């Protein structure tokens, strides 16, 4: 059965130390200024955060055995949880940097593509994005309208993407986008993935969004107007883009679960401390069952979230070692993502209530976490999509 090793726990202590020393003192101001701390990314790279699932030949730390990558996805989730415990935007920067930036190239790229991009991405010298969502195609990702037409030795891309993380930083090197490249039997669209380097003519990064939360995270819309890239920028086989991004999302859902777990854990910690120190009617407010029961609920949410997240991460690692099926990972990922994201939203509501009027003030971190939590129920597949995936796995008609 799954459990965290002592190495994982030692790694957790290291990440927590980094997060509390180099991130936590600054996040309130970064959030207020909507500032993306580019300088933090190489420091995360130096500590190996971006290379946990990447083999050594590309600059990562994952061990190899007989040519098969022994991915430690569990360690990545530990890092995301601990960064997310301090700030969700920094947590999603790592989560998206690996899950949406590195993993598609690692999983489907040629050796030449991997050599060109992975060393800088692993070192934190660069970031990469993944362009799936469009203004008119969110959960219905098969409704992609962006097109890529082959013209000799080039692809000509036209279209738009929305809500793309890590796509417009000063160090963003490439964005992988899904695009329609033809038509299949029955009128279905053929979808492929194409890598578009930053600065390519015709590739425009729109102004950053004015978001409810994740104010430190870099998020932009993207447009492509007769954007030409070499035919060799195709990622994986032509027509396999749909299958590729489904795998990418499965892994991403577990990472989002780790991010949500970090948030719920922090709500438990902050609420417990506040309930012990805040006085009302001559005693700590935690002496009242109305408060203590809510804090107890937070403990249940945090523990359950952690178990579901690391079970899913363990299954993912076991699948990579050939010992578990894709279906098991997919179901566990959706269950974990559904529960942990909804628990995180509830946890911030409870924590804000425990803090009372102070919880409504930006002076207290619970307000920032309250704003950050809602997107967890939307990104990497909405709660409704997760319920659909879980029901299908149970054999219910689609």
pTM score > 0.75 for this model? yes
pLDDT per residue as tens digits for the range 382-394:
999 999 999 999 9
Average pLDDT over residues 315-323: 94
Confidence of residue 1 (pLDDT cuts 50, 70, 90): low
Average pLDDT over residues 112-118: 98
The pLDDT, as a whole number, for residue 63 is: 53
Judged against a pLDDT cut of 90, whether residue 368 lies above it is answered with yes
Average pLDDT over residues 222-238: 98
Indicate which residue of 206, 318, 380, 384 is catalytic. 380
CATH number for 130-235: choose from 2.60.40.1180, 1.10.3720.10, 2.40.110.10, 3.65.10.10: 2.40.110.10
- Of 111-125, 136-150, 193-207, 307-321, which range is least confident? 136-150
Provide the β-strand partners of residue 205. 222
CB neighbours of residue 145 within 10 Å: 14
Hey, where are the domains in the chain?
Answer: 6-127, 130-235, 241-393
Strands 172-183 and 127-131: parallel
Domain spanning 241-393: CATH 2.60.210.10: no
The pLDDT, as a whole number, for residue 2 is: 64
241-393 matches 6-127 in CATH topology: no
Residue spans of alpha helices (H) in the chain: 6-18, 24-33, 40-46, 73-86, 88-96, 103-108, 111-123, 241-277, 289-320, 326-355, 365-373, 383-393
pLDDT per residue as tens digits for the range 370-382:
999 999 999 999 9
Alpha carbons 136 and 349: distance in angstroms, whole number: 31
CA angle 298/344/334 to nearest 5° reads 120
CATH code of the region 6-127: 1.10.540.10
Alpha carbons 245 and 33: distance in angstroms, whole number: 33
The pLDDT, as a whole number, for residue 70 is: 38
Average pLDDT over residues 259-264: 99
pLDDT per residue as tens digits for the range 50-94:
999 999 999 998 654 443 333 489 999 999 999 999 999 999 999
Catalytic-residue membership of 380: yes
The pLDDT, as a whole number, for residue 69 is: 32
pLDDT per residue as tens digits for the range 127-174:
999 999 999 988 787 789 999 999 999 999 999 999 999 999 999 999
Q: Which two structure tokens, joined as six digits, stand for 318?
A: 């076991």
pLDDT per residue as tens digits for the range 166-207:
999 999 999 999 999 998 877 789 999 999 999 999 999 999
């Amino acid at each position: 059965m799954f459990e965290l090793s002592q190495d994982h726990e030692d790694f957790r202590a290291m990440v927590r130390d980094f997060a509390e020393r180099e991130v936590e003192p600054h996040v309130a101001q970064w959030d207020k200024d909507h500032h993306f701390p580019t300088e933090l990314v190489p420091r995360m790279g130096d500590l190996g955060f971006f290379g946990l699932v990447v083999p050594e030949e590309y600059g990562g730390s994952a061990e190899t055995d007989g040519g098969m990558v022994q991915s430690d996805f569990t360690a990545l989730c530990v890092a995301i949880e601990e960064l997310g415990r301090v700030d969700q935007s920094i947590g999603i920067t790592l989560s998206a940097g690996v899950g949406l930036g590195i993993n598609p190239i690692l999983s489907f790229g040629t050796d030449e593509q991997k050599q060109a991009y992975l060393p800088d991405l692993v070192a934190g010298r660069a970031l990469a994005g993944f362009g799936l969502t469009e203004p008119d195609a969110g959960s219905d990702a098969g409704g992609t309208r962006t097109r890529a037409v082959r013209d000799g030795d080039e692809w000509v891309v036209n279209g738009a993407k929305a809500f793309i993380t890590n796509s417009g930083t000063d160090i963003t090197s490439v964005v992988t986008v899904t695009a329609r490249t033809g038509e299949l039997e029955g009128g279905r669209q053929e979808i492929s993935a194409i890598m578009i380097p930053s600065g390519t003519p015709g590739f425009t990064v729109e102004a950053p969004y004015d978001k409810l939360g994740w104010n430190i995270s870099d998020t932009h819309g993207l447009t492509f107007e007769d954007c030409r890239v070499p035919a060799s920028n195709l990622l994986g086989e032509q027509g396999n883009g749909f299958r590729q991004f489904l795998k990418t999302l499965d892994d991403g859902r577990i990472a989002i679960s780790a991010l949500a777990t970090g948030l719920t854990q922090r709500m438990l910690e902050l609420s417990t401390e506040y309930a012990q120190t805040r006085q009302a009617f001559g005693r700590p407010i935690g002496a009242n069952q109305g408060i203590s029961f809510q804090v107890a609920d937070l403990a249940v949410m945090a523990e359950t979230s952690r178990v579901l997240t690391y079970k899913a991460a363990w299954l993912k690692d076991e699948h990579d070692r050939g010992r578990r099926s894709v279906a098991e990972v997919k179901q566990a990922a959706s269950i974990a993502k559904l529960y942990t994201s909804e628990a995180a939203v509830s946890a911030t509501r409870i924590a804000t209530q425990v803090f009372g009027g102070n919880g409504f003030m930006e002076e207290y971190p619970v307000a920032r976490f309250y704003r950050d939590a809602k997107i967890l129920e939307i990104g990497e597949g909405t709660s409704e999509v997760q319920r659909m995936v879980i029901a299908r796995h149970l054999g219910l008609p689609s």
